[in-house]
Amino acid sequence: MNAIDNHYDVVIVGAGVGGGAMANRLAAGGARVLMIERGNYLPREADNWSVKAVFHDRKYTAKETWRDKDGKPFHPSTFYYVGGNSKFFGAATVRFRKEDFEVLEHEDGIAPAWPWSYEEFAPFYDEAERLMGTHGTAGADPIEPPRSGPFPHPTIGHEPEIEAIAEKLRAKGLRPFPLPIAIDRHEGGACIRCATCDGFACKLGAKNDAEVRLIRPAIATNRVDLVLDTKVLRLLTDPTGKRITAIEVEQDGQIRTIGGDLFISSAGAINSAVLLLRSANDQHKGGIGNNSSDLLGRNYMAHNNTAMMAVHPFRKNGVTFQKSMAVNDFYLANNHRPYPLGNVQGLGKLQGGMLTANMKIIPEWMMNLFAKRSVDWWIMSEDLPDRNNRVLLDPDGTVRIQYTPNNEKAHNELVRKWGQIMRSVGYPLIITQRMDITVSMHQCGTAVFGRDPATSVLDPFCKVWDVDNLYVVDASFLPSSTGFNPSLTIVAQAVRVAEHLLGNTLSAAA
Ligand SMILES: Cc1cc2nc3c(=O)[nH]c(=O)nc-3n(C[C@H](O)[C@H](O)[C@H](O)COP(=O)(O)OP(=O)(O)OC[C@H]3O[C@@H](n4cnc5c(N)ncnc54)[C@H](O)[C@@H]3O)c2cc1C
Ligand code: SF4
């Protein structure tokens, strides 16, 4: 077991985006922090950029088996490392729209209002963009919410193939814009703008993931200790159930407990729910945090996602970094469309082997033929909170994701529409793949925050309503999935919670 000091102000479970941002800000404010991570540092090595290692051999994916709603086992595409899922993320670091913070009517129901307005949240987005080192162009997204100034870095720009498509889209009246991206691509930066970013880890450490931007700087303050290869099994409470007194961890097959004053679960939306469910005791029979609302683990969301290849039969696509453009023209309802459809953004350049890993019936040579000639897109629509979509523990302890997709009509409409648009700009062959339960990359909603303990698991500062010294700061708190990538919002909320703790709970304890 790594050396652990006698006293920490805060114990954080999970060194991903939420945990990393909490550690970073708390340490900057002078707090002593212990982080406990089940994984280790991801090695920087040639395999980081190998399609075979990443997609076929699944070298870096968690070695776990979960079950779907019918009890069918599957291997989730999730990653347990310092930096969490962001080690493999596409680095799109976007703000949710102002409308996402309000009640938003969808074809299939309602996305609820957040406890904060966009205006209240915006200063924390400023700080989150600075922490993540986001590149972008203010004012380019036609539905961008108000912001206080420019992005920390200018946009990385499009390569000629993507710029040509942007031109054609503009000629059709659409308003493509540079996707805000967090990679180290500016004067003096380490990024070489390669084709293996989205879905891969960066061999050069040039992706602005949680390890690079949040956790390593936090450790450099000497106020953060990080314990690796240590899985937190349970949270233990005092006899009243109102305070967490310790966590039970497993390392090298040994079980031990670690005490503390303030605990933060940042294990990710699925694993935080699992941890709180697994910690059920006499005072919290349905899991810690479930008493007031019966919502722990419920409202699981992960977006409706489709990958699309738009293929030109004769022209090769020579692009390297393709994830530079997005389109939000279909994000909100308007006069022509009574409900929101979602966002379209460039996907990291697909290679044949990435596709055959899932579509085994099509030979790799054929997929390579398509992939060399395709422009690739990620089409993402909001799925809505439903209490029956939930994370559960089966009697044998296996994680079960009981999820039935909803709001699919809007998603299918967007996929169809984007296919038509791609055909009209010169890509006659459209190949799509809908993402299934194994793709939990945008998991969220399993411990929603809100102003009413009867309808939320967490208060607006992510404290568990039922417990005095437990917070959940990761994608769990999101009350709606929105139609956009979640990581920047997780960082922004962590900044907000850290500021709150430093100004209240931790300063009172000092
Ligand atoms: C391929 C891919 C592409 C993506 N692209 C984007 C993108 O472009 N933009 C975007 O915004 N988002 C993207 N995402 C999603 C983004 O990475 C996640 O939203 C974000 O990482 C979630 O942060 P988190 O703090 O909730 O959880 P995580 O970052 O997953 O962190 C959870 C951490 O807790 C650890 N942990 C779990 N259980 C335990 C336990 N019991 N004990 C100790 N430690 C534990 C895990 O190992 C992990 O390190 C992508 C994700 C993937 C996988
Ligand atoms: S594009 Fe840049 S940040 Fe992304 S993997 Fe390549 S070198 Fe790393």
212 secondary structure, DSSP code:
I
- At residue 334, the pLDDT reads 85
Ligand 2, atom nearest to 206 Cα: 3
Q: What share of the chain is helix, strand, coil (3-state, %, to 5)?
A: 25, 20, 55
Mutate to test the pocket of ligand 2, among 186, 191, 323 (most ligand atoms within 8 A of CB): 191
Q: What is the pLDDT of residues 432-451, one digit of tens each?
A: 999 999 999 999 999 999 99
Query: Cα–Cα distances in Å, from 371 out to 67, 232, 315, 376, 436?
Result: 32, 42, 11, 8, 21
Strands (E), 334-387: 343-346, 374-381
Quote the tokens at residue 394.
């089966």
Q: 187 CA distance to ligand 2 centroid (A)?
A: 15
Angle, to 10 degrees, between the axis of helix 118-132 and the axis of helix 17-28?
Answer: 90
Class of domain 10-509: alpha beta
- At residue 355, the pLDDT reads 74
Q: How does strand 104-106 pair with strand 109-111?
A: antiparallel
Strands (E), 168-262: 177-178, 224-227, 231-237, 244-251, 254-259
**What whole-number percentage of the chain has pLDDT above 70?**
98
Is pLDDT above 90 for 6?
no
Name which of 71-85, 275-289, 325-339, 469-483 the model is least confident about.
325-339
- At residue 196, the pLDDT reads 96
Is pLDDT above 60 for 510?
no
Ligand 1, atom nearest to 17 Cα: 25
Q: What is the mean pLDDT of residues 103-122?
A: 97
Q: Is 183 in the pocket of ligand 2 (CB under 6 A)?
A: yes
Mutate to test the pocket of ligand 2, among 88, 159, 183 (most ligand atoms within 8 A of CB): 183
Is pLDDT above 90 for 82?
yes
- How many CB atoms are located within 10 Å of the residue 338 CB? 10
Is pLDDT above 70 for 305?
yes
Nearest to residue 433, comparing CAs of 334, 350, 490? 350
Is pLDDT above 80 for 357?
no
Q: H helices of 85-176, where?
A: 118-132, 160-171
Residue nearest atom 4 in ligand 2 by C-alpha distance? 197
Q: Which amino acid is at 415?
A: V
CA neighbours closer than 13 Å in the CB half-sphere of residue 449: 22
Q: How far is Cα 383 from Cα 306, in angstroms, rounded to an integer? A: 13
Secondary structure element (H or E) that encloses residue 263, with its range: strand 263-265
Mutate to test the pocket of ligand 1, among 300, 441, 478 (most ligand atoms within 8 A of CB): 441
Q: Which ligand has the nearest atom to the CA of 206?
A: 2
Mean pLDDT of the chain: 95
Q: How far is Cα 56 from Cα 432, in angstroms, rounded to an integer? A: 20
Kindly list the domain boundaries of the chain, sorted by start residue. 10-509
Nearest to residue 110, comparing CAs of 426, 448, 383? 383
Q: Which ligand has the nearest atom to the CA of 484?
A: 1
Q: Give the pLDDT band (50/70/90) at residue 3.
A: low
Nearest to residue 446, comparing CAs of 259, 264, 267? 267
Q: Which ligand has the nearest atom to the CA of 319?
A: 2
Q: Could you tell me if 499 and 462 are in contact, meaning their C-beta atoms sit under 8 angstroms apart?
A: no
CA dihedral sign of residues 10, 15, 21, 25: positive
- At residue 5, the pLDDT reads 67
